[in-house]
Amino acid sequence: MKILTVVGARPQFIKAAPVSRILRQHHTEFLLHTGQHYDDAMSDLFFRQLAIPAPDLNLEVGSGRHGAQTGAMLPGIELVAIEQRPDWILIYGDTNSTLAGALVGAKLHIRVAHVEAGLRSYDRRMPEEVNRVVADHLSDILLSPTDAAVANLAREGITEGVRMVGDVMYDAFAQNLEVARRSHGILAELGLERGGYALLTVHRAENVDDLERLRTILQGVSEAGIKVVFPVHPRTRAAFGSAGAKPGPNVMLIDPVGYLEMLVLEENAETIVTDSGGVQKEAYFAGRPCITLRDTTEWNETVAAGWNVLVRIDSNAIASAIREFRPKGERPNLFGDGHAAGRVVDALSAVKVANP
């Protein structure tokens, strides 16, 4: 069986790594990188650290407006799909690469499998919400990470082809955490101590493109009264100058880090402050309090469990949450047993395909 895997952004590299490892033991995979994330720190470094085979093709679409970026991906993915004649197009998550892969599969009548199906924030202002809804409704197999995701699909009338497999990002976390601990001394390099800092990530358009929101976030973390380590996404760094934003002396700006370094920073942080869906999960995996700089989240399970709190973009609210939000309850097992990737491959293998 031949699988065309479409990836393009940092979270998708993480999700694809454990699946590709098992997939290639039994089937043929053509790995297509759209180039949505393209510099070394956001792309090539992740392939090296996660031991993902080099992409068979990189479309190198780069950044751009949503319509232009998605439109640039479509002809490249379509051409590869026509040439390779895969049995499945395998897509991950909710990026523009996800949407483009789903559209090509639907147009060419190639079966589509969506890993991380069923997530919903119920906020259509988020481009990712639109991407995931469309991808789910175009997919033939929907590989959901949690029971809540399965229930979301059922509410939309999608029950056929749905499989609850667990979360492949938890697979990657479990497989790489000990490696990260042994091989990366980033705490010493940055002069950090375990539990002596908050970890901040900000990259979403609603927080970065709105300069007033960006200034408010930086003011809130600057007033929190503890050291804040901030790996700065290229999108965010570009916005600093436009916003006239200058973090306080307690905020340490660093370049983007690799996956293994990020695991170490997450595990040893006192708290994690983010607008990233993937980092919300990794905070939960690591047992760290998570403060989410958004009005909604697709990972409502982590909020219900008491380990994630949504904070409005208000400097006082942000500073207060960083100082005070310290959950002490149990963390239910929401994301599976670390073997989701095997279930993904089993689900693909179990379906007899007859694509044109």
Q: What is the pLDDT of residues 185-225, one digit of tens each?
A: 999 999 999 999 999 999 888 898 888 999 999 999 999 99
Note the pTM of the prediction, 2 decimals.
0.93
Q: What is the pLDDT along the chain (356 residues), one digit of tens a residue?
A: 999 999 998 899 999 999 999 999 999 999 999 997 655 555 677 788 888 888 999 999 987 788 999 999 999 999 999 999 999 999 999 999 999 999 999 999 999 999 999 999 999 999 999 999 999 999 999 999 999 999 999 999 999 999 999 999 999 999 999 999 988 799 999 999 999 999 999 988 889 888 899 999 999 999 999 999 999 977 777 777 776 778 899 999 999 999 999 999 999 999 999 999 999 999 999 999 999 999 999 999 999 999 999 999 999 999 999 999 999 889 999 999 999 999 999 999 998 765 54
- From residue 246, alpha-carbon distances to 52, 220, 221, 253, 311 in Å are 37, 12, 11, 11, 21
The domain ranges of the chain are: 2-167+337-350, 182-324
Q: Which of 37, 184, 203, 233 is catalytic?
A: 203
**Separation of CA 139 from chain center:** 19
Cβ atoms of 194 and 285 within 8 Å: the answer is no
Q: Is residue 184 annotated as a catalytic residue, yes or no?
A: no
* 182-324 matches 2-167+337-350 in CATH topology: yes
Phi/psi region, residue 231 (left: phi>0; alpha: psi -120 to 50; beta: rest), is beta
Whole-number Å distance between alpha carbons of 170 and 338: 6
Whole-number Å distance between alpha carbons of 289 and 280: 9
Question: Looking at the domain 2-167+337-350, which fold is it?
Answer: Rossmann fold (3.40.50)
* CATH architecture classification, 182-324: 3-Layer(aba) Sandwich (3.40)
Whole-number Å distance between alpha carbons of 146 and 118: 9
